Amino acid sequence: MRIPFDNSFAALPETFYTRVDPTSITAPNLLAWNDNLANELGVEGADKAQVFSGNEIPQGAAPLAQLYAGHQFGNYNQQLGDGRAILLGEVIDNNDLRRDVQLKGSGRTPYSRGGDGRAWLGPVLREYVVSEAMHALGIPTTRALAAVATGEDILRETGMLPGAVLTRVASSHLRVGTFQVFAHRGQIDDLRTLTDYAIARHYPNADGAMGLLKAVCAQQADLVAAWMSVGFIHGVMNTDNCSIAGETIDYGPCAFMDDFHMGRVFSSIDQQGRYAYGNQPNIAVWNMAQLATALIQLAEDKDAAVEEATAIIHAMPAQLEAAWLARFAAKLGIAIPHPDDAELIQRLLDLMQTDGADFTNTFRALGTGAARDQFTDRDAFDTWHSDFTARVADLPDAAALRAKSNPAVIPRNHRIEQMITAATAGDMAPFNRLMTAYADPYTLHDAELATPPTPSEVVPATFCGT
Ligand code: AMP
Ligand code: MG
């Protein structure tokens, strides 16, 4: 196996991580392999199952578990860290971008706390499918390079389940929590080193810590607006799952919505709806306020830094609104939105919520008249539709813009659950079917996958037993 490693994180101070090797397993079996991504990264060779299960350490790797902390559901946890993930190293891809190659589910580390360091097949394949679908939708995300079954069962709430290892590729695994851990411990030199590293790696034009904050806020605003535009609910927007690079990271109890509701929650542990669909913009701002709090520690003049950081955070809701408007206006076919378009969009969403209209299929059918079928109050929809028609009447490219802004297929939760059930029984055909359809989501190749769940297929919650 040849992986052209070029490691930079491993050269940072030892306070940033612990060097640790993956734990070997008995019977690795390659379940999924991402050829396109492997080519981008320059990864080639046999022995994929051995290397991407953690059984063999490839040449040039510098395996380590990263330290971080984070707010989980609003409560600060002073030490998290990679409890079941091991960074093998970085490669420079064929676009000259530095990417992390990380094993997830590869055994215990010093940060495992009570956990077994493992992952079961279901969440591994969910992350594989959903992150690759997210990428095909054009939304920044970590990627999936490989999934390997370990041949070993692990214990979860529901009993013994087959173990697996995911190879995750990310622009980096720096999180808000990576900054928080040093700020809270008063390790200011480490915080400064981290800040310089993050700027050099992700935002070379950013001017100092406040420049970094501004850049991350802009990325997060775009990211959350993009999620909203495809009905995605991350599910666990803790600060340790909030990427400095602005990628979607950590696909736990995540899901795409079927019938629209602003308050939709999928995570069974999110009793308060903190991470509900419609609350995601607020949480993005909250998370950025935590990053700001950490970065302020670097300033000599704290009062001035607080003032500057506060202004950056206060600017974020307007950024989110602008990004949201741009994304949803495009879904209507409007390339250059007016402020008034927000009301037109909101009226549609309100009707969709009242009538339980399918989010994806309603938008996809807007131009065709079939969207009407999604509504029980047809009169209300017709009134909205005539206003919509009037608004887009003079826009020559509206239909083309709608077609590329409204996916035909998204990874519906019931399809993901069916895929996991099949894979657990050894049948990878549904996985392959989903991967094929979601690779080109703006074209309808497989009409069955565009259908919402029947009442008996609805998946009410995604459990956290990952
Ligand atoms: P997550 O909810 O997946 O973002 O994980 C939160 C924290 O729990 C991270 O520090 C993980 O590394 C850790 N963690 C989650 N599952 C396990 C596990 N099975 N073994 C060890 N650590 C885990
Ligand atoms: Mg996490």
Q: Determine whether the shortest distance from the Cβ of 80 to ligand 1 is under 6 A.
A: yes
Q: What is the CA radius of gyration of the chain?
A: 22
Percent of the chain with pLDDT over 70: 99
Q: Are 448 and 437 in contact (CB under 8 A)?
A: no
Per-residue pLDDT band at 368 (split at 50, 70, 90): confident
Per-residue pLDDT at 464 exceeds 90? no
Q: Ligand 1 in contact with 82 (CB < 6 A)?
A: yes
pLDDT for res 446? 98
| Amino acid identity, position 198 | A
> Which of 74 and 367 is assigned the larger pLDDT?
74
What are the pLDDT digits (tens) for 65-84? 999 999 999 999 999 999 99
User: Relative to the alpha carbon of 115, which ligand is closest?
Assistant: 1
Q: Which ligand is nearest to the CA of 67?
A: 1
- Nearest CA owner, ligand 1 atom 7: 80
Atom number in ligand 1 closest to CA 85:
12
- How much is the pLDDT for 302? 97
Question: What is the average pLDDT score of the chain?
Answer: 97
- pLDDT for 377: 97
Asked whether 48 lines ligand 1 (CB < 6 A), one says no
The model's pLDDT over 276-334, given as tens digits with 9 standing for 90+, comes to 999 999 999 999 999 999 999 999 999 999 999 999 999 999 999 999 999 999 999 99
- Dihedral of alpha carbons 10, 109, 426, 430, sign: negative
**Residue 167: CB within 6 Å of ligand 1?**
no
Distances from the Cα of 365 to the Cα of 72, 85, 362, 384, 399, angstroms: 38, 42, 5, 14, 11
Residues 82, 93, 240, 270: which is the catalytic one? 240
Of all protein residues, whose CA lies closest to atom 12 belonging to ligand 1? 83
Of all atoms in ligand 1, which is nearest to the CA of residue 252? 3
3-state secondary structure of 233: strand
Instruction: Please state, in angstroms and as integers, the Cα–Cα distance from residue 286 to each residue in 3, 131, 185, 349, 451, following that order.
Output: 38, 24, 21, 25, 35
Residue 460 has pLDDT above 80, yes or no: no
Nearest-CA residue for atom 13 of ligand 1:
83
Measured in Å, residue 226 CA sits from the centre of ligand 2 at 20
How confident is the model over 201-260, as pLDDT tens digits?
999 999 999 999 999 999 999 999 999 999 999 999 999 999 999 999 999 999 999 999
- The confidence band for 269, taking pLDDT boundaries of 50, 70 and 90, is confident
Beta carbon of 173 within 6 Å of any ligand 1 atom: no
Any ligand 1 atom below 6 A from CB of 118: yes
| pLDDT tier, 268 (very low <50, low <70, confident <90, very high otherwise) | confident
Our answer to whether residue 100 is catalytic in this structure is no
Q: Which pLDDT belongs to residue 121?
A: 98
**How much distance in Å is there from the Cα of 225 to the middle of ligand 1?**
27
Q: How far apart are CA 68 and CA 73, in angstroms?
A: 16
Q: What is the mean pLDDT of residues 157-184?
A: 97
115 pocket-lining for ligand 1 (C-beta < 6 Å): yes
Q: Is 47 left (phi over 0), alpha (psi -120 to 50) or beta?
A: left
Between the CA of 127 and the centroid of ligand 1 the distance, in Å, is 14
Please give the pLDDT value at position 462: 65
Ligand 1 neighbour 81 (Cβ under 6 A)? yes
Q: Is the pLDDT of residue 271 over 90?
A: no
Res. 465 pLDDT band, cuts 50 70 90: low
- Is 70:120 a contact under the CB 8 Å cutoff? no
Percent of the chain exceeding pLDDT 90 equals 96
Q: Which of 112, 155, 248, 270 to mutate to test the pocket of ligand 1 (most atoms within 8 A of CB)?
A: 112
Give distance in angstroms: CA of 84 to centre of ligand 2. 10
302-332 helix and 398-405 helix, angle to the nearest 10 degrees? 120
**pLDDT band with cut points at 50, 70 and 90 for residue 104:** very high
Question: Quick check: CB of 84 below 6 Å from ligand 1?
Answer: yes
C-alpha distances in Å from residue 424, one per residue of 34, 36, 75, 146: 20, 26, 35, 17
From the CA of 82, how far away is ligand 1's center (Å)? 7
Domain ranges of the chain: 9-170, 176-325
Quick check: 378 pLDDT over 60?
yes
Does the pLDDT of residue 369 top 90, yes or no?
A: no
